[in-house]
Structure formats: structure tokens, C-alpha cells
Amino acid sequence: MVMSPVDLRTKNGCVGEGEQQLANQASQSLVGSCNLLKDYQSGYTPNPDILCNRQIKFDTFCKYVQHKMDADAIATGHYARTTFGDFLENDDPVAGVHLLKPADLFKDQTFFLSQVSQMPLQKTMFPLGNVTKSQVKRIASESGMEYIVKKKESTGICFIGSRNFKKFISEYLVDKPGYFRDIDNGLIVGNHAGMHHWTVGQRCRIGGQLKPYFVARKEPKSSDIFVASGTNHPSLFTQFFLTARPHWIHSPPQPLLQEGIFECEFRFQHTKPLVKCMLLVITDNQILITLTRPLRAITPGQYAVFYKDKECLGSARIILLGPSLQSLGHGGQGPVQSAFLSWVDRPPEQGLTEVAAAAVLRCHSVLPRRRHLG
């Protein structure tokens, strides 16, 4: 059985009654259980690929093949490795399994597996974990499978396939028009059809402007999207943010349990370089992430994925951004301390306590690290 992109309206991508049944269950699981549509309506930008792996490929699909087909394990073409070995030759259920980066770091797909649970991961083989993409193509060519060698790289969201995302999401959400507003002065510079079509950092093709505009912030209540002029505008950069409770693939890091602080590396886009960060426990359900340098377009709804050396430790959903560089004084928008405290003074469900804020300043000297982006 092969999992492939499915269009439930045209039945593309599946053959066989059993596979169509699985596809229907999978789609309902992703759209329903993950609150995917609710996230888009609320101004978040979820990561459907991470959610698909968590809810479908490594949950619904695994249960299906185990219970309906009596399969002992599954094999996947993800470029990743585990401590159990490519073919589970080092299986040790007592010790548990760790998710590791593959040999081909350029094709590393552990980012998309960062929400997978321990049990399905223990039953998964990664045959491509210790080979590179070029080696795979060579093996395919030598085996007479030239069609695989010539096949284009798959891109886009897995369960949407080649369809246009804006058209796809509009089939499920009603457009709610709003304004594009310049984040520097609040003036209206354009109109949009709905927030769910846009994500932080995305270029907005608004005519008649000296510089291109990019999405800096979305306001669900008013349907306004605040846009910044220029790709390096300080409103697009932040150095710390809040996440929901992390999912740890094997177990929580001991320093985090014992001391409430843990240093590791992080990324929120799978193609971007890893950045050093520090995790600080705020409550049982929230973690504060501080970075060694500001990053552009960190996006609520996306996942912060954590690494230590060769291991992918897990991930956490980004729920709230800290002040941007603009708010912290870069660009002449007001006193740094005032901007920081305005973030701290948000309602408890939206912001940090003063104790947490002080910890950020004390441990990481966030404010003095501001730098000009040119």
C-alpha cells in the first residue's frame, strides 16, 4: 500500500476501496482533530505536513496496516534515521527510540517527523537514512528504474498535491476581506480577500509602492493585515517567542526538568540553518524560546523544532511572538523598555509574567543584542 496525495472530490491519488477508506479517515483526522481550519481562521499558519505525519502517516496509517493487514512494521522514504537502525535491527523497546538526522543533511526530513509519537516510530524503518539522494538515483538507474531518476522532486503540502493552495483553502473557508495597513503609520495601502491566504513574511503584491510590502502581523478581530515596507524591515524580526507544551520524541531533556533551562538548536523552516537557542520553562504548558540572534518571519502556528547534536528532540507549536526589533526600538518607534513591558502586561493567556520577562533579560541579554540589518 502506498500513501499518496488525495483529492476527495475527484478521487485522485488512490486505487482500491480499502485505500479510499483510509484516505477518507485520514483527511477527516487531519482537518478535524488538528483544528486546521480553525487555525487559519484565527490568523495562525499551521504546518500541514507535520500534522499529516502526526495524525495520518504515523497514526491512522500505522494502525490500519497493523490491525487490518497484520503488518509488523512500516517503511518510509523519509530521509531520517533512528537508533533502532535502518531496518529495526537494533530494536530495543525498553530503551526507546531516538530520531536522528540522516546521512544526507541536505535532504534531512526529521523536521517533518518532530511530532511523531514513540510507539509508531519504534515500528518504522528508514531505508534511506544512510544514503544520499544521488546514491538513491544511482541505485534506481542501475536497477532499470529510469522513470524514478527522471521524476521531478515532490513539493507542496502532501495531502493537497499539485492543487493551488489558495483555491484549496477557499473550498473550506469563507473569505473575509480586510485591509493591508502600513505597520509604520497604520495607513491603508491595499485590500485582501482573507487572512487565511497570507502568512507572516510573505510578499504582498501591492502596486504603486517604492518598496515591496511583506506581511508583518495579522489581526483576526479586525481582519487587518499589517505590512512592512522592505524585506529587512525590523518589524519582521524577533529574538524570542512563546510555545505551547513541547512534544518530546523520546523524553524531555534532563536540564529542562531539573533546572528549567536547556540549550540546544532550533529551526522553524526545514530548509533554514539551525540556530542556537535557550528554552526556559514558564509553566507546565508553555516554554519561552530565546535565540542568539533575531530571525525573520517567525510565524505563530508553525513548529519550533529542536535539535541536539545529531538528534531531533521534538517540537513545540509557536503561539506568541515577543516584541519585534521595531517594537524594541530599532527604527525609532519608541522606548525599548515600554515596548517590552507592553508585551509582558498582556493578559496571562497571551503573554509572560514579569518573572519570565526578567529571566529573559537576565539570562540572555536580549535587548543589548539588537543589531542593524542594513
Q: Which residues are known catalytic residues? A: 52, 158
Joined together, the cell numbers standing for residue 268 give 522553524
Phi then psi for residue 139, to 5 deg, are: -60, -40
**Measured between alpha carbons, how far apart are the two ends of the chain, in Å?**
52
Distance CA 57, CA 71 (A): 14
Cell numbers linked to 318:
509557536
| CA distance to 15, 67, 164, 220, 367, per residue, from 3 (Å) | 10, 17, 20, 35, 47
**Measured CA distances, 130 to 9, 101, 104, 243, 299 (Å):** 38, 10, 7, 32, 32
Asked if 276 and 364 touch (Cβ cutoff 8 Å), the reply is: no
Q: Which grid cell is 313?
A: 528532540
Q: What are the distances in angstroms from CA 149 to CA 93, 161, 171?
A: 37, 20, 35
Q: Which residues pair with 162 in a beta bridge?
A: none
Spatial separation of the C-alpha atoms in residues 282 and 302, rounded to whole Å: 20
How far is 131 from 140, CA to CA, in rounded Å?
Answer: 13
